Amino acid sequence: MNEITTKILDQIPSNVKFSEEDADVLIRNKDKLLEWEDGLIQGFYDSVFNHDTTRAVFTEGERPAREQTLRDWYQRTLNGPFDDSYWEWQTYVGLVHIKRKVNNAMVTGMWGWIATYLSSKALEEFPQDEALKLVKAVHALQANVTALIVESYLKNMFVAIDKAAGLNEALLGRLVATEIDDMLANAKS
């Protein structure tokens, strides 16, 4: 696994990190989860396109291609494996989001939508014990994927700023810390 992906995943507490057990739960229930695919994609993009801020990320006529991207991710996820390549792909998404101007609020909000949709379906259609395992697996997947996307977004922004302006992450961190101290002092007054 590449260094940035490893560093990000290492920051997630092990009790909430996506596990082999979570992978097994998703894969053994993939037939039912795939039945929910069309509803997930339709609902996801209805939410995105019904909100002015998120809709503005897209160009006219782009929705079918983005729906296919989500469909490809969903099918790949449910078919496994959850190997280095899978997690590195999620890290790469953070880089793509910078280019597309998909910010971290959008990512975390829509991941919340995905987790709620899948959790609700699981609680409606599975016996309680299996539903709870599935809900846990979805939330653990959300933790890993969201961490990789949002952290790689930030890390890659630092790299781009360094390349463009010569402000490496350490220097930028010191500048930001100074400004944050001022902002906190102003907020207290």
Residue 33: other Cβ atoms inside 10 A: 22
For residues 13, 19, 75 and 65, what is the CA-based torsion angle, rounded to 10 degrees?
A: 10
Q: What are the domain boundaries of the chain?
A: 16-153
State the amino acid at position 6 in one-letter form: T
- pLDDT level of residue 172 (50, 70, 90 thresholds): confident
Element (H, E) at 87: helix 84-100
Is the pTM higher than 0.95? no
Assign 91 to helix, strand or coil.
helix
Render pLDDT for 76-97 as a digit per residue (tens, 0 to 9): 999 999 999 999 999 999 888 8
What is the reported pLDDT for 187? 93
104 vs 98: CA distance, rounded Å: 10
At 25-59, the pLDDT tens digits run: 999 999 999 999 999 999 999 999 999 999 999 99
Provide the CATH number for the domain formed by 16-153 in this structure: 1.10.490.10
Give the pair of three-digit tokens for residue 71: 């469909």
- Interval 4-11 mean pLDDT: 95
Q: What is the CA radius of gyration of the chain?
A: 19
Question: What does residue 182 show for φ and ψ, rounded to 5 degrees?
Answer: -65, -40
Buried (b) or exposed (e) across 110-122, using 16+ Cβ within 10 A?
Answer: bbeebbebbbebb
Q: Scanning the structure block, which residue is given the tokens 């390349």?
A: 163
User: pLDDT tens, 94-150?
Assistant: 888 888 999 999 999 999 999 999 999 999 999 999 999 999 999 999 999 999 999
Mean pLDDT of the chain: 94
Tell me how far apart the alpha carbons of residues 143 and 12 are, in angstroms, rounded to a whole number: 8
